[in-house]
Amino acid sequence: MHLDNLPDFAEEYLLIENGHNLIAGVDEVGRGPLAGPVMAAAVILRLNIHFDWIDLVNDSKKLTERKREYLYDAIMADALAVGVGSVTPEGIDTYGMGNAVRTAMQLAIAQLKTQPDFVLIDAVKLPNVNIPQKNIIRGDGKCVSIAAASIIAKVTRDHYMMGVDSIYRGYGFARHKGYPTKQHMDKLAQCGACPIHRKSFVPVKKAIEQSK
């Protein structure tokens, strides 16, 4: 049961009862944007300590930017381990989004300083990860560990997009983070794609063709 539709520790506690101690939640962000990487995070929380901020954790899409930033700092400070992985726009164009997401998740798990003995993943199966795992549909709204990973991935990707805003001026990356807003689409139509655009995505393809 998820009180007030908030994620809880039901999955983690069940795993602990079955002998698992190091449980990582894994999630990704960035499937929908026209630009920038797809990014994933893996988080192992300290399940034997109740931090005050835990009660605020939720699917990153349901949090304000201010809450995400606060929780990002808290998770980074108090989690047992955090790993982040990403795949570039070129990787997405070459291998497809599904493969890019799985690769980003695998990289995130590999970056954990402590390797988990079980992995809870939002929706995706990772056949190349040799760790017991469970994929949970809409897991970022059900499982605290996955929700924590969604926050780390979202804030990390947002920071990246804000950082490249001054490099690729006018597209508004700091504001929309690569999603297809009107400002973004207008700039694409006017100037075509920049190096971090996903050239396999239809709106970007059209902009490239029209700019020739």
| Per-domain residue ranges of the chain | 3-164, 173-211
What is the length of the chain? 212
Residue whose C-alpha is closest to residue 22's, from 147, 131, 126, 104: 131
Residue whose C-alpha is closest to residue 144's, from 47, 209, 34: 47
Task: pLDDT band for 195, please (50, 70, 90 cuts).
Answer: very high
Residue whose C-alpha is closest to residue 40's, from 163, 178, 198, 146: 146
Cα 114-7-104 angle, rounded to 5 deg: 45
- pTM here is 0.96
CATH code for the structural domain at 3-164: 3.30.420.10
- Mention every residue, 6+ apart, whose C-beta is less than 8 A from residue 60: 29, 68, 140, 147, 150, 151, 153, 154, 155
Task: Lowest mean pLDDT of 120-124, 198-202, 203-207, name the range.
Answer: 203-207
pLDDT of residue 3: 46
- For 16-63, what is each residue's pLDDT tens digit? 999 999 999 999 999 999 999 999 999 999 999 999 999 999 999 999
- For 152-178, what is each residue's pLDDT tens digit? 999 999 999 999 999 999 999 999 999
- Mention every residue, 6+ apart, whose C-beta is less than 8 A from residue 168: 194, 195, 196
Mean pLDDT of 142-150: 98
Q: What are phi and psi of 193, to 5 degrees?
A: -85, 155
- For 74-117, what is each residue's pLDDT tens digit? 999 999 999 999 999 999 999 999 999 999 999 999 999 999 99
Q: What is the mean pLDDT of the chain?
A: 95
Q: Identify whether the C-beta of residue 190 lies closer than 8 Å to the C-beta of residue 171.
A: no
Radius of gyration of the chain (CA): 18
Examine the pLDDT at 1 and tell me if it is beyond 50. Answer: no
Rounding to the nearest 10 degrees, give the CA dihedral for residues 116, 76, 86, 5. 80
